[in-house]
Amino acid sequence: MNESAILHIPDSQYCFAVGEKKLVIRLRMAKEDADASVTLIYAGKYQFQQSREQIPMEIRYTDRLYHYYETTLVLTDVRLAYVFCIRQQGTTYYFCEDGVVLQYDFAEGFYNFFQMPYINRNDVLPTVKWMKSAVFYQIFVDRFFCGNTKKDRSYINMEWGALPTPKSFAGGDLCGIIEKLDYLKELGITAIYLTPIFRSISNHKYDTMDYMQIDPQFGTKEEFGELVRMAHAHGIRIVLDAVFNHCSMQMQQFCDVMEKGAESLYYDWFLIDGAYPVPSRANYECFAECTYMPKLDTANPEVQEYLIGIACYWIREYGIDGWRLDVSDEVSHVFWRRFREAVKKEKADAVIIGENWHDAYPYLRGDQYDSIMNYAFTKACLDYFARKTFDAKQMAEKLSSNLMRNMEPVNRMMLNLLDSHDTHRFYSEVGENPDRLLAALALEMVFPGAPCIYYGTEICTPGGYDPDSRRCFDWEKVHTDTDVRKKLTELTHIRSCTAITDGNVELAAENGMLCVRRKAGGEGVSLYINMTEEQRRQEHCLKADSKVLSAHRASVLPAAGDGKMTCGVCVEPEGYLIVREQREALD
């Protein structure tokens, strides 16, 4: 047995509460030890020596190196003690805080059992309920639609639809989004994530000058209030971009420091080497190497109060539904803890989504973010659908590995995206192949978490890296290029299935196809994706009364005349099939 591969960490992503008396426990083991059987031995912490219960653990996830065993306990005593019993090839082992041992003294278990000391109610990470069925739509405001035809247009320096440059202004605004809310609702969108809307000199607005003012290019506070009200009336939530890592060098507080140096009341708001900040010398910390975006010192209590006040203001006064946190992994943990407490107090179901491109577990333990922009999902999709460096088995393993980074409630709130304003357009990455795009969108809709559609994906907008990924929305294509948009609309409407909103997930490769299954409440949804170069058929994998929810280049095979009342699937290259089965078919 490969002892070095065995891992369990109490009170972590390997042991976490999903309710006041409900606990998920995971154990990692090497794949070569798949013949081992694992049993969890457990009891209330103060009864462990006298009597214990046992429950078998099943392999729930598999990645390239490991199997992950999992079980869920419903407890009567929230003070839990437990060890793992591993049986392999006739030998019984125990895994506890001392590691793997051949004998275990239960009478002295208080020295070395694993424990969940106590499930405190306020330590349970709640799922933001509306996120379970949400479909996000990310809008880069300047390039979506210009609705206010009477505004000052003197700042606009490009024709709508021309290729953008870093300094291009196209004229998109908040009125334009209001005007297109019916379109977004029809598309199946339930949440809009807006890139920054506050006062700034750039087209992207990530260099904020004034967090309390809507940029005049985009509109007014009154128009923003109307957007939130109208969006809510359409069943669509609004999430704003919080750029709290850095600001514009033209922000009032930084200008004061530029003028007064160390004598400024705001000198300690920034991280400056010397008495005065000097942009030409870059003697202060900034975002990346952009001296026009000085970094705020979020460890400073005054800065914390200022920024938290801004976050609460836009929730309290305008009813926004959450924040996406820009460059969130470079901001103080202490700040995010204070931020979460204040935001959740203002609006309990406001979502907090960090922009962490990498494993963000330290931020996702329930005291900071709800989730992150899931760029690990993006990368896996690029490897599978675009670059084809993954086959179905490798894709299933990679997705499983990503899920094992976090607790289940976090996975259910992840913002799963194929692309964004910071990446190449996914449609271009797949060689402008609409079949591959649709297959990836199908996975995005069925996978745990909330899918996020980058504006224009539904009309196959191409684009390379920034600024090319920030092209104008071509509204003429809405009337001409309808195939992908119609299929995406079909996909977004399956998000309300109970199996997808509340179900567990199984990932596997079968006959060269990626298979994703979700099950809950007597309902099952199965997705089959074929990224091989050959047609793939699989017999007897569905009940005869299975319902097709969405299909592209795929079909259900008729039931065989063998008395089993089952049918199969047939998926063409770069096709997908999503089917639903009800309780009687699952039993």
∠ at Cα 522 (516, 527), nearest 5°? Answer: 15
- What lies within 8 Å, CB to CB, of 473 at 6+ separation is 143, 144, 145, 455, 456, 459, 461
DSSP state of 137: E
DSSP state of 267: G
At CB < 8 A and 24+ separation, what contacts does 214-217 make?
214/174, 216/151, 216/152, 217/142, 217/155, 217/169, 217/171, 217/173
Cβ atoms 14, 27 nearer than 8 A: yes
End-to-end CA separation in angstroms for the chain: 35
280 SS3 class? coil
Cβ atoms 392, 512 nearer than 8 A: yes
Beta strands at 450-454 and 53-62: parallel, antiparallel or unpaired: unpaired
**Residue 267 burial (10 A CB sphere; 0-12, 13-18, 19+):** middle
Residue 355: active-site member: yes
Phi and psi (nearest 5°) for 3?
-65, -35
Residue 321: active-site member: no
Name the active-site residue from 33, 241, 321, 326.
326
Question: Residue 312 has which token pair?
Answer: 């609460």
Name the active-site residue from 70, 355, 444, 523.
355
Phi and psi (nearest 5°) for 291?
-65, -15
- What lies within 8 Å, CB to CB, of 279 at 6+ separation is 249, 291, 292
Cβ atoms 86, 36 nearer than 8 A: yes
Beta strands at 136-139 and 210-214: parallel, antiparallel or unpaired: unpaired
CA dist., res. 363 & res. 315, Å (int): 22
CA dist., res. 13 & res. 10, Å (int): 8
Active site members? 326, 355
